[in-house]
Amino acid sequence: MATLTMKYPEVKNYVGGKYVSSKASKHLDVISPLDGSLLSTVPLSTKEDLSDAVSVARKAFETWSKVPIKERVQVFFRYKTLLEKNIVELSKLVQEENGKTLDEARAEVEKSIELTEFACSLPQLIGGEILEVSKGVECRTDYYPVGVVACIVPFNFPSMVPNWTIPNAIALGNTMILKPSEVVPLSCIKIVELLKEAGLPDGVLNIVNGDREIVEAICDHPGIDAVSFVGSTKVAKLVYARAASHFKRVLTLGGAKNHLMVLPDAHPAMTASNVTASMSGCAGQRCMAASAMIAVGNSQHIIDMICEDAKKVVPGQNLGAVISKGAKERIEGYITEAEKQGAKILVDGRNCVVKGKENGFYVGPTVIDYVTPDMSVAREEIFGPVISIMRAKDIDEALAIENASPYGNAAAVFTQSGGAARYVIERASAGMIGVNIGVPVPREPFSFGGWNDSKFGVGDLTGKSSIEFWTKLKKTTTKWNAEAKTNWMS
């Protein structure tokens, strides 16, 4: 651990509105993927650190849960304005710790603002129902917060993914333990600072940094009522099973292998630029990234255009870095393995060095053709700016390849035929479908969430669908009229 040349002070936990030192004996370096420089260090917190934070969050829940929702969302109206005011600073921080381009970093802060806007609309959405169910007898429903919720987030969206959960869960009356990715813990500090400035009471949102050990402690802790997780499928399964074994409410979002099906009638230029942007945006480190393309029939002219477009994607300019040296090696390993297995590398992003940023972790855009469904590049999540092209004779063969994937986050079809698009929409086994859109992220109020091995649990984490996850429904039956005739139920 080298602390002398760090750009930022060491990361601390944030509990009860104060920065507190962890009891950790181990810390990790926080490295900027842009140039390999040391940004900070992050503690691998202990179970005791977590228990302290849970006690504070439980106490805060007693008061925060009783604040009327119209009052609670006022914090988020102010937070939205503060995000807008601080967008440049927050975007730069996201870029620095994650390695994406500044435009991409700004886009995720803009999405954080949209998520916050949705939370501000929650009072309009969670009104309960009331009905006279028999003479003089009424039933009504009310949404109650769940309690202390824990949110575990990945490295690839340091601002957006924490904001998938913070505004909705907290506006609905919960208090929270946030576990940032140990790889990108800095943006979360800025987020809690803005929320404090917006008037969020101390103790409502707390940060406990760490890695596997703290995640396992979150799953086991009796003071935590619900756990949300976003990350790889392997860990999503572990967290789901472990937290559920303690009878917690759990929703875990996992990895992806998203297929784009390109039909011969697709608009060539629009399709090529969209496929290229979908696979190379955020250096391919998106759970919604296009990772595999299935060229149906003769789509060679579109493949040629994709190669031309890919060559215009320049690392260090309009293509960011990947998260670590290990990630760069893993991605390049996939490309080399595919080549050895007989695939053809049409555009090769291996051994990429950006002048002036020689210590950064860059992989150039990569187009691999003649991939077969059995190859690792066809089956596994690469999480890099790589597209693996397979060939299919018709839509059914393309759908069979897509649906054989254990994942089910997103799938897209490129065509000018409404009938063909409808055919794919109905048959693709994925939670989010794009028609002529390679990264079909639903915008608020629509919710985000995949199927199959890309999500475990019921409902989605954002949008209207998240209301059920962050609340408990109370059903009250009332009779005030003593004269009302009783019947079988009252």
**Which 90-129 residues touch ligand NAD, going by CB under 6 A?**
none
56-66: string of b/e by CB count within 10 Å (b at 16+)?
Answer: bbbebbeebbe
Q: Strands 137-145, 471-479: parallel, antiparallel or unpaired by DSSP?
A: antiparallel
Find the catalytic residue in 151, 188, 282, 287.
Answer: 287
Is 154 a binder of ligand NAD (CB under 6 A)?
yes
Is 231 a binder of ligand NAD (CB under 6 A)?
yes
Q: How far is the CB of 152 from ligand NAD (least distance, A)?
A: 5
Helix (H) or strand (E) holding 440: none
Contact mark string toward ligand NAD, 352..381, x via CB under 6 A: -----------------------------x
Which of 41, 116, 276, 409 is the binder for ligand NAD (CB under 6 A)? 409
Residue 156 vs 366, nearer CB to ligand NAD: 156
Residue 209 vs 271, nearer CB to ligand NAD: 209
DSSP assignment of 341-360 equals TT-EEEE--TT---TT-TTS
Task: Tell which residue, 452, 462, 456, has the closest CA to residue 259.
Answer: 452
Is 45 a binder of ligand NAD (CB under 6 A)?
no
Task: Tell which residue, 287, 293, 248, 286, has the closest CA to residue 271.
Answer: 293
Which of 230, 243, 262, 371 is the binder for ligand NAD (CB under 6 A)? 230
Residue 369 vs 381, nearer CB to ligand NAD: 381
Q: How far is the CB of 240 from ligand NAD (least distance, A)?
A: 11
Residue 64 vs 155, nearer CB to ligand NAD: 155
**Which 411-430 residues touch ligand NAD, going by CB under 6 A?**
none
Which of 99, 431, 450, 463 is the binder for ligand NAD (CB under 6 A)? 450
Is 24 a binder of ligand NAD (CB under 6 A)?
no
Q: Which residue is nearest to ligand NAD (CB)?
A: 231
The amino acid occupying position 98 is N
Answer yes or no: are the C-beta atoms of 49 and 207 closer than 8 Å: no
What is the Cα Rg of the chain in Å? 24
- CA dist 162 and 164 (Å) reads 5
Is 465 a binder of ligand NAD (CB under 6 A)?
no
3-class state of residue 265 by DSSP: coil
**Cα 367–Cα 386–Cα 261 angle in degrees, nearest 5:** 75
How large is the angle between the packed helices 69-85 and 160-171, nearest 10 degrees? 160
User: Which residues, in sequence order, are bridge partners of residue 20?
Assistant: 13
Answer yes or no: are the C-beta atoms of 270 and 436 closer than 8 Å: yes
Which of 52, 104, 182, 402 is the binder for ligand NAD (CB under 6 A)? 182
- CA dist 87 and 85 (Å) reads 6
Is 73 a binder of ligand NAD (CB under 6 A)?
no
Q: How far is the CB of 273 from ligand NAD (least distance, A)?
A: 23
Is 155 a binder of ligand NAD (CB under 6 A)?
yes
Residue 216 vs 444, nearer CB to ligand NAD: 216
The amino acid occupying position 390 is M
Phi and psi of 64, rounded to 5°?
-60, -40
Which of 32, 45, 101, 156 is the binder for ligand NAD (CB under 6 A)? 156
The verdict on whether 219 is a catalytic residue reads no
Which of 80, 100, 179, 248 is the binder for ligand NAD (CB under 6 A)? 179
Residue 95 vs 409, nearer CB to ligand NAD: 409
Q: How far is the CB of 294 from ligand NAD (least distance, A)?
A: 20
Q: Strands 13-15, 18-20: parallel, antiparallel or unpaired by DSSP?
A: antiparallel
Residue 206 vs 271, nearer CB to ligand NAD: 206
- CA dist 281 and 365 (Å) reads 10
Which of 181, 206, 299, 447 is the binder for ligand NAD (CB under 6 A)? 181
- CA dist 72 and 125 (Å) reads 14
Q: How far is CA 351 from CA 14, 253, 318, in A?
A: 40, 32, 18
Is 253 a binder of ligand NAD (CB under 6 A)?
yes
Stretch that binds ligand NAD, among 165-173, 248-256, 265-273, 439-447 (CB under 6 A): 248-256
**Cα 452–Cα 457–Cα 459 angle in degrees, nearest 5:** 95
Q: How far is the CB of 7 from ligand NAD (least distance, A)?
A: 22
Stretch that binds ligand NAD, among 32-40, 137-145, 254-262, 308-316 (CB under 6 A): 254-262
Residue 33 vs 145, nearer CB to ligand NAD: 33
DSSP assignment of 443-475 equals PTTS-----GGGEESSS-SSTTTHHHHHEEEEE
- CA dist 129 and 469 (Å) reads 18
Stretch that binds ligand NAD, among 93-101, 208-216, 420-428, 438-446 (CB under 6 A): 208-216
**Which 292-321 residues touch ligand NAD, going by CB under 6 A?**
none
Is 255 a binder of ligand NAD (CB under 6 A)?
yes
Which residue ranges make up the site for ligand NAD (CB under 6 A)?
Answer: 152-156, 161, 179, 181-182, 211-212, 215-216, 230-232, 235, 238, 253-256, 287, 381, 383, 409, 450, 454
Q: Which residues are catalytic?
A: 287
